[in-house]
Amino acid sequence: MSFSKKTLLVAMLCATTAQAHNKPRFFEQIKQAFNDGCKAASACPGDTPTHPTVEALGMEAQQKVGVEKPLPIFSMNPHHPMTLFAGAMTDRHGIHVSPQLLLVSYGVARSTMHHEAIHAREHDYQNIIHKVTVGTAAGALAGYATCRKLNRSKRILGVLTGAYLMNIITRQVINQTVEARADREGFKATDCGPCMEEMAANREMLEVSPIFNPFKYFGYVSSKEVAQIAQELKGKTCAHHATPEKQAEAKYNSAVMKDWCVQERTRQNDLAELQAAEHAVTEKEEQCMRRFQ
């Protein structure tokens, strides 16, 4: 060992001993550093208090769907990728809500909280982790069994491929069931037609938008099915939508979202036509060039 390495080792030992004097603080600091790292890497869903209205919606939803031990409601870490989807996510610590959620509309926020409340009631987050771990391990074993007679590097590759594939497959299969259940049971539990009308329009935006489009393959039910639930709940309202004014507001919000869908569909069609026309022109030009060559 060279001198500089020895010096470094001694310095590290001294630092650790000095830190160990104050153990609780030492571990607290490590935990803090880890949390900060997670937050910077967008891995932490966030644990700061949220808007009082969202908080109340989260508590109402959990009570309505029958969560035994209601989870606290947090504001989502603004760096977390889920904030892009103006939604929420539930883990064992709590329900983490995107700061933009209330901006969409009251009905969308309320419906989303009911969806999350089902995740909380069914402990979906923990179940997903357990099942994906088992699936990944099974994939690794299958990979090993398939490649056990090959050389070492191919065996490692087999194990990694098996684990990776099974991780994706288990995740996808579980997501399909878990998200569809949270949507169906959560939305019915809202007991409010106007809330569901807004949610149906919002879901249509998700289907039309090229950015959010892949999300419809994650098991979320279609806008048509949400509209069906809205129809079933017609005449029923939550406390917020009890007055004719608030019901008219929900209709207006839904109309604005649906209008966006119409505009977006037109834009996408125009773009496709434009690209087809440009393609035809390029083809013509290439034909001409070939004739002159």
Interface residues with Zn ion (CB under 5 A) are: 179, 182, 192, 194-195, 238, 241
As given in the structure block, the two tokens for residue 243 are 């007055």
Smallest distance from the beta carbon of 165 to Zn ion, in angstroms?
A: 24
For Zn ion, the closer of residues 97 and 192 by Cβ is 192
For Zn ion, the closer of residues 55 and 179 by Cβ is 179
Taking phi over 0 as left and psi of -120 to 50 as alpha, with beta for the rest, 61 belongs to alpha
Please state the φ and ψ torsions of residue 48, each to the nearest 5 degrees.
-95, 155
Cα-Cα-Cα-Cα dihedral sign, residues 79, 82, 83, 89? negative
Contact partners, residue 123, CB within 8 Å, separation at least 6: 92
For Zn ion, the closer of residues 59 and 192 by Cβ is 192
- Gyration radius of the chain over CA positions: 26
Smallest distance from the beta carbon of 185 to Zn ion, in angstroms?
A: 11
Smallest distance from the beta carbon of 292 to Zn ion, in angstroms?
A: 60
Smallest distance from the beta carbon of 103 to Zn ion, in angstroms?
A: 17
Reduced to 3 states (helix: H, G, I; strand: E, B; else coil), residue 223 is helix
DSSP string, 81-135: GGGGGT-EEE-SS-EEE-TTHHHH-HHHHHHHHHHHHHHHHHTHHHHHHHHHHHH
For Zn ion, the closer of residues 102 and 195 by Cβ is 195
Smallest distance from the beta carbon of 198 to Zn ion, in angstroms?
A: 8
For Zn ion, the closer of residues 55 and 198 by Cβ is 198
| 217: enclosing H helix or E strand | none
Smallest distance from the beta carbon of 101 to Zn ion, in angstroms?
A: 13
For Zn ion, the closer of residues 140 and 197 by Cβ is 197
